[in-house]
Amino acid sequence: MGKTNLDEFAMGSGSTDGVFGPVKNPWSYSKQYREKKKQKPHGENEDTNWLITGGSSGGSAAAVSAFTCFAALGSDTGGSTRNPAALCGVVGLKPTYGLVSRHGLIPLVNSMDVPGILTRCVDDAATVLGVLAGHDCKDSTTVQDPVKSFILPSLTDVSKLCIGIPKEYLVPELSSEVQSLWSKAAKLFESEGAKVIEVSLPHTSYSIVCYHVLCTSEVASNMARFDGLEYGHRCDINVSTEAMYAATRREGFNDVVRGRILSGNFFLLKENYENYFIKAQKVRRLIANDFVNVFNSGVDVLLTPTTLSEAVPYVEFIKEDNRTRSAQGDIFTQAVNMAGLPAVSVPMALSNQGLPIGLQFIGRAFCDQQLLTVAKWFEKQVQFPIIQLQEIMGDCSSVFENDLASVSLKQ
C-alpha cells in the first residue's frame, strides 16, 4: 500500500497546494508529449515546464498513470477524482453517493464526498467498486442492502441505448479540441445504432455558485475539529485556549483552506443562513431534479466533457488563484456531486500536443453497473494509447517490451 499526494484537504483542482509540494503529471515526460514539443528526451536538467495532474487527487492519478500501481483511491467532492483522471489519461470513477462507505475518508463536504477509484481500465474500476460497495454500519449514509460484486458484460449492441448530450455544457471556455472529441464520441454512439439526443439541464449555470456556498459551509463545519488538542499540529502558544486555537489553525491550514472556512462561516451566520445556505440547498434540489427529469425521459447515460482542456503547465496554472482554478476545473463535474449520481471519466484520445483528453459519462443513481458497462464499450471503441515512458525509465524499459493493451488487475 502506498500513500499519494493531493491538494491540502482535497481543496483544489491542480494538486499544487499540498504541503509536500505539487504533483507532476507523468505525461510531461511521455514520448508522446515530448515529441510534439520537440524536446530532447533527457531534457538538459530542464524540468521547468512540467504539467499539472489536475486535482485534487492528482497523486493517485499520477501513480496509476505511471504504472506505480494497478489502482488508487481518491476522493470526489466536486470532481477531484474525475478531473485528474482525465488529465492523466486514466479511468476515474465517482460512485453513487451512499454506495461506498465514507468511514475513514477525511470529510470535506459530508453530503457530497465519495471515495473515488482510479484505474487504467474500466474493468479494474468495476473490480475495485465491487470490493468497496455496500452497507457499512459505521456510515449511516450508506445503502442498507448489501451489494454483490459484479463482472461487467462486454456490450456489443448499443442500439437500445439512449445517450443524452446536455446543451448547457457547451460553454465558451471549452477548448476546441475537447469540443471536437465530444462531438466525435456522440457520432460514434450514433453510428453504432444508439439514440443520441440533446437534452437540457436548465439550472446548470447556477451550479458552480451553489456548490461553492454549500462546499464552504460544510468545510467550515468539518474543519472546526482541527484545533491541535487531540491530534495533529499544535502551535507553541500557551497563553490561553483561544490563542492556542487561533495560532494552531493559522499555522496548520493553508490560505485556500482558511479562505473557505471564513467564507463558510459567513454563509452560516444567523443573518445569512436563509439567504445563502438554505437558498443554495433549494437550488441544489432543482439541479438534482434536472438530472431526474432527463433520466425519466428515457436517457440512460449522459455524455459530457470532463475538463475544459488538456493538462496545462504548472507555471501557467499558478497564474490564477485556487478559487478561480477550482471553478474552472470543476465546471463539468460538481453538478454530479450535488445530485449524488455516479459518473466516470474515460480517456478518449490524445490532443494535438500529445496529452490525454477524457470524457465523462453520468448515470442514474445506483446504476453504477450500467454506467460502467457503457464506459467499457466506449473504452474498447476508442483504444486510448498507452503512455510511453520508456525513455525516462532507463533500465525498466523491459517492462514495456510486451504489447500491453491494458495492464489490468485481471492478468
Partner 1 sequence: MAAPVLRWSCPARRWILANIDRGPRHGRGSPTGSRSSGKRGQSSVAQQPLATAQKPRKGEHQWAAVVGLEIHAQISSNSKLFSGSQVHFAAPPNSLVSFFDASLPGTLPVLNRRCVEAAVMTGLALNCHINKKSLFDRKHYFYADLPAGYQITQQRLPIAVKGSLAYSVFVGKNRNQVINKTVRIKQIQLEQDSGKSLHDDLRSQTLIDLNRAGVGLLEVVLEPDMSCGEEAATAVRELQLILQALGTSQANMAEGQLRVDANISVHHPGEPLGVRTEVKNLNSARFLAKAIDYEIQRQIEELENGGEILNETRSFDCKLGCTVPMRDKEGKQDYRFIPEPNLPPLLLYDSASLPAGADPQQVINIDQLREQLPELPRVTREKLVQQYGMLPEHSFTLLNEVGLLEFFQNVMKETRAEPKRVTSWVLNTFLGFLKQQNLAVSESPVTPSALAELLNLLDQKTISSAAAKKVFEELWRSGGKTPAQIVSEKRLELMQDQEALEELCQATMEKHPQVVMDLKKGNPRAINKLIGLVRKATLNRADPTVIKEMLERQLSS
**Active site members:** 56, 80
Q: Which of 171, 209, 224, 262 binds partner 1 (CB under 8 A)?
A: 224
Answer yes or no: are the C-beta atoms of 244 and 228 closer than 8 Å: yes
Total site size for partner 1, rule CB under 8 A: 37
Q: How many residues does the chain have?
A: 411
88-96, 119-127, 132-140, 282-290 -> range binding partner 1 (CB under 8 A): 132-140
CA atoms within 13 A on the CB side of 154: 2
CA nearest to 304, candidates 169, 163, 118, 168: 169
- Residue 107 within binding range of partner 1, rule CB under 8 A: yes
- Residue 76 within binding range of partner 1, rule CB under 8 A: no
- Residue 143 within binding range of partner 1, rule CB under 8 A: no
- Residue 173 within binding range of partner 1, rule CB under 8 A: no
**Residue 103 or 184 with smaller CB distance to partner 1:** 103
Q: How far apart are CA 327 and CA 113, in angstroms?
A: 17
Strand order in the sheet with 162-166: 71-76, 114-119, 91-94, 343-350, 356-362, 301-305, 162-166, 195-199
62-70, 78-86, 109-117, 343-351 -> range binding partner 1 (CB under 8 A): 109-117
**Residue 95 or 98 with smaller CB distance to partner 1:** 98
- Residue 274 within binding range of partner 1, rule CB under 8 A: no
Quote the least distance from Cβ 90 to partner 1, whole Å: 25
What 3-state class would DSSP assign to 35? helix
Q: Which of 40, 42, 49, 104 binds partner 1 (CB under 8 A)?
A: 104
**CA torsion angle 205 332 111 219 (round to 10):** -80
- Residue 146 within binding range of partner 1, rule CB under 8 A: no
78-86, 116-124, 192-200, 224-232 -> range binding partner 1 (CB under 8 A): 224-232
Binding residues for partner 1 restricted to 226-245, rule: CB under 8 A? 226-227, 229-231, 238, 241-242, 245
**Residue 107 or 305 with smaller CB distance to partner 1:** 107
Grid coordinates belonging to 373: 458497462
Quote the least distance from Cβ 337 to partner 1, whole Å: 13
Quote the least distance from Cβ 112 to partner 1, whole Å: 9
Q: How far apart are CA 73 and CA 61, in angstroms?
A: 9
- Residue 283 within binding range of partner 1, rule CB under 8 A: no
- Residue 153 within binding range of partner 1, rule CB under 8 A: no
- Residue 102 within binding range of partner 1, rule CB under 8 A: yes
Answer yes or no: are the C-beta atoms of 13 and 56 closer than 8 Å: yes
Quote the least distance from Cβ 139 to partner 1, whole Å: 5
- Residue 254 within binding range of partner 1, rule CB under 8 A: no
What lies within 8 Å, CB to CB, of 338 at 6+ separation is: 112, 207, 210, 211, 214, 284, 287, 288
Quote the least distance from Cβ 4 to partner 1, whole Å: 17
Taking the CA atoms of 272, 277, 280 and 286 in sequence, report the sign of the dihedral they define: negative
**Residue 231 or 402 with smaller CB distance to partner 1:** 231
Q: Which of 39, 68, 221, 390 binds partner 1 (CB under 8 A)?
A: 221
What 3-state class would DSSP assign to 333? coil
Query: What DSSP line would sit under 249-311, residue for residue?
Result: HHHHS-HHHHHHHHHHHHHHSHHHHIIIIIHHHHHHHHHHHHHHHHHHTT--EEEEESSSSS-
- Residue 103 within binding range of partner 1, rule CB under 8 A: yes
64-72, 173-181, 189-197, 264-272 -> range binding partner 1 (CB under 8 A): 264-272
Answer yes or no: are the C-beta atoms of 307 and 178 closer than 8 Å: yes
Positions that interact with partner 1 (CB under 8 A)? 102-107, 109-111, 137-141, 217-218, 220-227, 229-231, 238, 241-242, 245, 265, 268-270, 273, 277
